[in-house]
Amino acid sequence: MVHQVVLGLGANLGDAESSLNLAIDMIQAHERVDVVACSSFYRTSPVGGPDQPDFYNAIIKISTELSPEQVLQLARDIETRFNRVREQHWGPRTMDVDVIAYDDLISSEPELTLPHPRAHERAFVLVPWLEVDASASLATKGPIADLMRGVTEQGIHKVEQGL
């Protein structure tokens, strides 16, 4: 069975834009993944955490036969290839790949909460997601277009076209 998955990518260390492009290429290279859509890249101020550089973010939609756990493992493998270190909650990072939504699955497993528990509060998720899917909806929260009203004050700036 083919599943529709939304992944959020972000980086704020090193050449973040190049890192996003490379991460997207790595995801596309997986034999059981097809990148269906990629948003533009967005520059955003960090939310929470220590003083740090702005993030570059994107949303990609994929079609895959992978299970939710396998998608999470793919995300972690990509982070590892970028030498992601988890030293500080909401700290700077070379690469962050979050599973935002997996079909309309709702899960509260300790390793993978779906949909992502803070997706509805983050402009860097909602703005690029709406760009690639104007009719998108977040399970338990509603249409992305409606959720946008709650994040209008968060600074987000389009940087460059994705794929």
Angle (nearest 5°) at CA 116 between 115 and 117: 105
Query: Which residue do the tokens 């528990």 mark?
Result: 117
Q: How far apart are CA 114 and CA 119, in angstroms?
A: 10
Q: How far apart are CA 129 and CA 37, in angstroms?
A: 10
Phi, psi of 55 (to 5 degrees): -95, 155
Grouping H, G, I as helix, E, B as strand and the rest as coil, residue 46 is coil
Active site residues: 84, 93, 96, 98
